[in-house]
Each structure stands twice: as structure tokens, then as C-alpha cells.
Amino acid sequence: MLSLLPLVLLAINGAIAAPSDNQGFDAQTIAKVRDNMLNISTHSWELGAAAQALIELEVPSLSVFSGNRLPPTKSQNPSVRRAATDVFDLATRIVRARPPGSPVLIDGDGAAGDPASLGVAVALTGWTRTNRSDLSFDEAAGLQLDHILNHVPRAQNGAISHRESQVQLWADFTYMVPPFIAYEGVLQTGGDKTWLLREAYNQCKWYREILGDESGLWKHIVLGTGLLDPTHWGTGNAWAAAGMLRVLQTITHSDVSWQFTEERRNLTGWVEEILTSTWPHQGNNGTLFNVIDDPTTFADTSSTALLAASTYRLASITNNHTLIPFADRALQLIKDSVDGNGWLHNTVDPLTFFAPSPPGTFSPEGQTFTILLHTAREDYVRGLHRK
């Protein structure tokens, strides 16, 4: 059960207020952020997150956040196909570079979960392809799904390991894998559809059972040996919240959503749990810290951006604006932290978790999260104007 303490702190901080009229990013800045994102994203999870950002930015009608029914129609009109060119090109590059018969979409550097982050883009490309005889995308996505479900070790409660060689759970997994399992579900029919949607939900549930604690936040890395991180890492909690939102909306817009009333309510509550436990720790300038509840760690714009994006998304779904002032302050910080060339500064180094990005270097995740913040905020504002 969610502690009342974060809610009390929110009220003390004056968060219970009407949504503000903060201005978002201009198109020129976002175009630069996007180009930089694509130029420096190389690892599997970076490419997967970038693909999701491209869907939300360039072809929002195909995003699970659009409100459109899922699955999308196989025959898309030419204007949508043109808008989706970057997504389709990225998916095509991944599939064409994949060794024949490979069980994964791309090398995950030892991670079982990260390659699956590209699964939605590949599955969407295959589903809407104009050449119906080209089965390469379906095959690649299907093998990736089979590998993650049937060939990766699991924890005792059923949670799929984020690592190939041992059972180890990372909060990051929640963004990489459950949204892909759920998306594959809506492309199926009958029992396969409901089973996959339930498996996506269960992975979120099982991960929360192990990583969540009484703080309302999630630990970053537990179980197994080697690299462990029991702290409430900001980016890990951001991955978890954003991933559960994608699963929630995939289920919600499926034609079997009526079978998942309790599951949808739980997912909504679990995202809210993370967010209401996060924002009481926000700094005066709008920042969150690398470890959310440890202000002795450095300020981190990456996690701040994605947790703010998740806050706008949650408000769009629930019509509860309580947390929006926090997201608005975070938005202003992120805008102030993007330079004239479209680079986000003051990010955590995503390869170390524990240190800022070295001088002169930038975070692919930070670039992507800036776009996800932009698209979430734009959708939120459009929703307000429709009401």
C-alpha cells in the first residue's frame, strides 16, 4: 500500500494546484535533440529507446499513447508511412544486420532484456509493411519473443532475468521487455493475445515484488552476483514508470481491455506510487538527483526528464493534475539544460550509473528522454484543450 507520507509532502510543497501554462520546446530545438540522439545511440537499449521516441515524435498516430485502437491497420495511408520513415528505416537496419536465425534482434552485451527494446519498432514495421511477402520482420520479432519468454532464466516468482548468464533483475527491464510482450500480444488473436498481455502485466508485477520497497521507489539491480545496485537510482525508476505506462496503454487500447480491469488499475497505481514517492525529493531548481532520495548524489537531468514525461502521461490518463507542477518545474530545468546545439547537459553517465557524464560527452538516453518529455507534454496540453 502506498504510504501517505509522499502525499503529505506533496501538499506541503504546494503541488496540489491547477496545471500551469509552461511553454514547451520549440521545433528547431527538438530537431537538433533528435539528430544528436540518432548520431550517438549505438547500444541495443539506446537504439530501442530512440525508436520509441521516433514513434512518439514523428508518427504519434501509431504510438500506444495515441488513443487509437490496437493493433493499427495494416494498410497505412501514404502520409503516415512517410512520417514513419525513420522508424521503419531503423527497424530495417536492425533486421538486415541480424545474423540469419539469430534468436535476438541485436547483440545485448550480455543483457537479455535490452535487445527486446527494439521489438515494438520491428513488429510495427512488419505489421504495416507494403511487401506482404517479406516475413523477415515477423520472423525476427517472433524469435526475439520466443527467446525472452522461453530461453532466459527467471526468478522464483516468474520475473524474467535482465541478464542472460544469471538471474539478475534490473529496473531498466521494465521499459525494454514488457511493452514488447504486450505489443506482440495485440498483434495476436484469441488466447495468445490475452496470454501475452497478461504476461506483460505479470512481468511488471513480479519486478515490483522484488525491486519495490516501503519507500514507494524501486531498487536498481538485485539478485545474482557481480554488479549490484540496491539504491533508488533515478533512471531505473524512470524506466520502470515509463515502461508500465506503455504496457497500460497497450492493454487499454486492445479489444480485450475489458478483461484487464484490475490489471489496468494496478498498473496505474504502481506508476503513481513511483511518481508520488519521487517528487517530494525534487530540488528547488526542478532537478532530481541521481539517487532519488539521496540529495548528496549529483543532480541528473536524464532521470528528471523521463520521470517528468511519465508524470504528464499519467495525468493525461487519469485526469489527475496533482503532480503537474513538479513536472512543469522539471520541464523548465530540462529546457535550460539543453544548449543551442541540442545537447542535454548535466546527465548521469548511463554506462556507470554512479558518475556524471564526462566533460565533452553526452548521454544518448538523455537525448531520448528529452524527446519523450516533449511528446508527453505536448499530448498532455492537447488533452487539456480538448476538455
Confidence band, pLDDT 50/70/90 cuts, at residue 325: very high
Confidence band, pLDDT 50/70/90 cuts, at residue 20: low
CA distance 56 to 54: 5
pLDDT at 51 over 60: yes
The whole-number pLDDT of residue 385 equals 82
Confidence band, pLDDT 50/70/90 cuts, at residue 386: confident
Record the cell numbers describing residue 310, joined without a space. 511519465
The whole-number pLDDT of residue 359 equals 95
Q: What is the mean pLDDT of the chain?
A: 94
Q: Where are the domains of the chain?
A: 5-386
The average pLDDT across 229-239 equals: 98
- The domain defined by 5-386 folds into Glycosyltransferase (1.50.10)
pLDDT at 379 over 60: yes
DSSP string, 82-146: HHTHHHHHHHHHHHHHSPTT-SSSS--TTBSSGGGGGHHHHHHHHHT-S-TT--HHHHHHHHHHH
- Are the beta carbons of 271 and 310 closer than 8 angstroms? yes
pLDDT at 17 over 50: no
The whole-number pLDDT of residue 177 equals 98
pLDDT in tens, 88-117: 999 999 999 999 889 999 999 999 999 999
pLDDT in tens, 246-267: 999 999 999 999 999 999 999 9
- Are the beta carbons of 123 and 141 closer than 8 angstroms? yes
- Are the beta carbons of 87 and 51 closer than 8 angstroms? yes
Sign of CA dihedral 198, 52, 380, 293: positive
pLDDT in tens, 128-137: 999 999 999 9
Confidence band, pLDDT 50/70/90 cuts, at residue 1: very low
The whole-number pLDDT of residue 22 equals 67
The whole-number pLDDT of residue 19 equals 52
Residue type for position 42: T
Confidence band, pLDDT 50/70/90 cuts, at residue 12: very low
Comparison of pLDDT for 107 and 385, the residue scoring more: 107
The average pLDDT across 309-330 equals: 98
The whole-number pLDDT of residue 387 equals 67
pLDDT in tens, 150-204: 999 999 999 999 999 999 999 999 999 999 999 999 999 999 999 999 999 999 9
CA distance 41 to 115: 14
pLDDT at 2 over 90: no
Record the cell numbers describing residue 247, joined without a space. 504496457
Confidence band, pLDDT 50/70/90 cuts, at residue 53: very high
pLDDT at 337 over 60: yes
Confidence band, pLDDT 50/70/90 cuts, at residue 42: very high
The average pLDDT across 311-328 equals: 98
The whole-number pLDDT of residue 216 equals 98
The whole-number pLDDT of residue 128 equals 97
What are the respective helix, strand and coil percentages of the chain, to the nearest 5?
Answer: 55, 5, 35
